[in-house]
Amino acid sequence: MLEIPTKSSSTIDKEFMSFIDGAFVDTAGAQTVENINPADGSVLGTTYLLSKEQAEKAIQSAKEAFPAWRAVPAPKRAKIFAAFQRILEERKEELAKALTAEEGKRLPEALGEVQKTINIVEFMVGEGRRFGGRTIPSEMENTLAYTVRQPLGVVGLITPWNFPVAIPVWKIVPALIAGNTAVFKPATNTPKTACMVVEMLHEAGLPPGVLQLTIGRGSTVGDLIVNHEDIKALSFTGSNPVGQRLYHDGAARGIKVQCEMGGKNPIVVLDDADVDLAVEATVQGAFGSTGQRCTATSRAVVTEAVADEFVKKLVAKAKNIKIGDGMNSDTDMGPIVDDGQLNSVIEGVEQAKKDSSCGELLLGGERATDGGLEKGYFFQPTIFDKVEPGSFLAQEELFGPVLAVIRVKNFDEAIEAANSVKYGLSSSVYTKNTDLVFRFLDLIETGITHVNSPTMGGEAQLPFGGVKATGVGAREMGTEGVEFFTELKTIYIDYTGEKREGNLY
């Protein structure tokens, strides 16, 4: 048995610790960082960072737990997650408030994220009874041929801060329902929600060792997970530089790797669009969750016939966005998650201001400090117009409330501009012309696309993911979410009782 000093109970309100072998780890003497509320700079608590040696113990604990967990029938494994779903429903508001406090999104947005998480769990619970393969006719007489799906072993799950409840859950639940054990590394700036999710899972009946929560730096805990010989698959959501390196390292070891990375999502507004509807969708997509969604609208590709009307209405609507603490009921847009991300957005906008190819700044472009916001990490809703498709602002993901409006002559130019980036996650088109709708659906280079609705969003029963530089590996969510965490085995059962003659290939 591994010797891992633990605490008998959680102090999640103020201390955020890793969870190994069924208990919160005693992290006396560990390196710590403060968990900061981005709305006012206040300290929410202390995050204790795992050492490489402790993370090694977590992986070994998951390895030891795998044989027993694998032996539990999938429908019985799923019952634990049905209980987890009920706990999520009971503690929905509590979890959402913790999410708003440490990540910054408005409470209604946080409640929406928790509800989406509940939907994901509800769908995945059913996968416990659908988990299986196919029976396929054999060309040989008296032979039964079929496939089964089997777990991989210990899998590594590395998640970002922008959806600190939904993204971990949409990786954890399918991985565990499939019979794997998992080592989960969340972002260090959203530790409380990670602790709460893992605690709820164990309250639901998850056996010790099946899920390890490892809070630590990417250079120590993250690199260990990526390169450890006992990690049999990796699922990552985050930035392109990190994801590309992880994919390279995983490929060198010959393991399955799934990466969801950046996006530069376009909303395309054509001549016959309902402009008011398109403006509403653009505001939601560009400034909802402070633009910190991988499916956020960062480009509006608009035909010249409606561009002036669109821009005028867009600026007028964005001017009325009230910035503030996400806990306040009258807030329309919350803060950026931390000072590092805020500085990244500021630097990107300053670069765009100096570059003529980035067009004309119509709104915002500065840190928001008026009205008591000076202690938080707030940035104004920002709109640039007449942005060139090849410019820095049109090509690079800033991950903040910044929108580039690109004017085009017609549908063909719109498609060309929309597809001109290295990313390919989500897109949207606004038009009443069904011919153009289907041409758009054929030609757009994104993994997800919407017609007359915003770029963001996804449903639990449908696959989620992108193309080009956005994503590598299998899709997440839906039935595809479970398939990534399994290996397919093909089985032939010969019941002739006789020697086979001829070429058996």
258: its two tokens:
């799934």
CA 429 to chain centre: 23
Residues forming a β-bridge with 360: 385
Catalytic residue among 294, 397, 476, 483: 294
d(CA 267, CA 269): 6
d(CA 253, CA 247): 10
Look at residue 341 and give its three-state secondary structure. Answer: helix
CA dihedral 354, 358, 364, 369 (to 10 degrees): -40
Look at residue 161 and give its three-state secondary structure. Answer: coil
Residues forming a β-bridge with 149: 488
Q: Which amino acid is at 479?
A: T
- The answer to whether the CB of 315 falls within 8 A of the CB of 302 is no
Q: Which amino acid is at 184?
A: F
78: its two tokens:
């799923």
53 is catalytic: no
Q: Say which residue the tokens 């996400």 belong to.
A: 326
d(CA 81, CA 72): 14
CA 363 to chain centre: 29
d(CA 87, CA 22): 18
Question: In whole angstroms, how far apart are CA 8 and each of 25, 207, 227, 289, 317?
Answer: 9, 16, 31, 36, 52
Residues forming a β-bridge with 494: 143
259 is catalytic: no
d(CA 449, CA 303): 19
- Of 12, 163, 16, give the one whose Cα is nearest residue 99: 163
d(CA 270, CA 56): 54
Catalytic residue among 15, 109, 127, 260: 260
Task: Write the DSSP symbol of residue 380.
Answer: -
Task: Write the DSSP symbol of residue 76.
Answer: H
Classify residue 195 as exposed, middle or buried by CB count within 10 Å of its CB (0-12, 13-18, 19+): buried
Look at residue 254 and give its three-state secondary structure. Answer: coil
Look at residue 452 and give its three-state secondary structure. Answer: coil
Q: Say which residue the tokens 């709708």 belong to.
A: 437
Q: Which helix (H) or strand (E) holds 195?
A: helix 191-203
d(CA 97, CA 81): 22
Q: What share of the chain is helix, strand, coil (3-state, %, to 5)?
A: 40, 20, 40
Active site residues: 260, 294
